[in-house]
Amino acid sequence: MKKALITGINGQDGSYLSEYLIKQGYQVHGILRRHSVAENQDVRIKDMDVKTYYGDLSDEISLFKILRKVQPDVIYNLAAMSHVGISNELPIFTVKTNSLAVMQLLELAKEICPEAKIYQASSSEMFGNSIDNDGFQRLSTTMNPVSPYGCSKVMAYNLVRYYRNAYNKFYCNGILFNHESPRRGSNFVTNKVIKSIVMIKKNIIKKLELGNLDSKRDWGHSKDYVRAMYLIMNYKSPEDWIVSTEETRSIRDFCRYAFKLVGLNYKDYVIQNKKFLRPLELKYLKGDSSKIRKKLKWKPQYTFESMIEEMIEYWMNKIQ
Ligand code: GDD
């Protein structure tokens, strides 16, 4: 049985990937960070057949021990300080977790499990406001990040490429555009909007405060994107890939559709609060995923609409 180690196993992607890898016949191991609220520790994976270990990417001793014990065949590095806005409040922590810790992982894996393949969760945030003339971002687009988070991910992206080339390793970057689901953290805009809509509908709150409504994102579903991760790791050669829907919509479009689904008009409820604006805004994302569609035959199964519908349904049942 092949062994997979997932860092960030209790995150949105970590939990969907665990389910997917179990179905593919993997023994799944994962690293959990200690959480002060014990119930939140493993909330997304508690019913899954996975082995977990307390650790932290930035704690090299825990990482060393886990790698030595598990001896994974494949490592999916999904752990990160993943909130772009908050990376402005926690810039040093962001770089330590998202860049330096990745170097630590690469170095330790090279010594302890030299045959292990590594997947690195790279991000469309790395492009910042660079857009090609045809309105897409692709592998050749200049990376011009506009947040500490984006900068930290560019460093990790380059480290993975460096180790791959210098030591002839199967290390890959998946540059994933935004991806959502009912398991999304509720301080990311999509789940914040959906949860608030349900609470408005159920008369629990009256308004929804947001920041910039005009930035555009290429939003897919996390379940489709973990499938892409698996395909990337099982391709014949280690490469870098873009994973996206090739469609872009504004936060306003998202609100319009989601409110309409429950019979409301977003204009009656959404108000702007400067607190949610960022020092620099990434204004527009639309990824060219032709490479993965062609070479790995990947394509998303969810649409923008079916994803939102699933999220609404989930929160309608959850919030009483
Ligand atoms: N979070 C948040 N909260 N975002 C808001 C809000 C709000 O109240 N109001 C407007 N926005 C806007 C943000 O300014 C941004 O333009 C957009 O909504 C999306 O914000 P997020 O959902 O926080 O995602 P993100 O695009 O910054 O980052 C996500 O996608 C990256 C890939 O491009 C994260 O998942 C990153 O980890 C990921 O790498």
> pLDDT digit string (tens) for 170-216?
999 999 999 999 999 999 999 999 999 999 999 999 999 999 999 99
Alpha helices in the chain (DSSP H): 12-23, 60-70, 91-95, 101-112, 148-167, 189-201, 222-233, 251-261, 290-295, 304-318
pLDDT of residue 63: 97
Instruction: Check pLDDT > 90 for residue 35.
Output: no
Q: Domain residue spans in the chain?
A: 3-179+220-243, 187-217+248-283+304-318
pLDDT of residue 41: 85
pLDDT of residue 129: 97
> Cα(84) to centroid of ligand 1, in Å?
7
> pLDDT digit string (tens) for 83-117?
999 999 999 999 999 999 999 999 999 999 999 99
pLDDT of residue 170: 98
CB 80 within 8 A of CB 121: yes
The active-site residue out of 15, 18, 58, 123 is: 123
Mean pLDDT of the residues in the chain:
97
Instruction: Check pLDDT > 90 for residue 153.
Output: yes
Which tokens hold the place of 25? 């016949």
Residue type, 154: V
82 lines ligand 1 (CB under 6 A): yes
- Is 313 a residue of the active site? no
Could you please state the CATH topology (level 3) that the domain comprising 187-217+248-283+304-318 is classified under.
UDP-galactose 4-epimerase; domain 1 (3.90.25)
Residue type, 66: I
123 lines ligand 1 (CB under 6 A): yes
Question: How many C-beta neighbours within 10 Å does residue 95 have?
Answer: 19
Which tokens hold the place of 7? 């860092």
Whether 3-179+220-243 shares its CATH topology with 187-217+248-283+304-318 is answered no
The active-site residue out of 26, 149, 230, 266 is: 149
44 lines ligand 1 (CB under 6 A): no
CATH of 3-179+220-243 given 3.40.50.720, 3.30.1330.10, 3.20.10.10, 3.40.50.300: 3.40.50.720
Query: Using CA positions, which residue lies closest to atom 2 of ligand 1?
Result: 189
Query: Using CA positions, which residue lies closest to atom 20 of ligand 1?
Result: 189
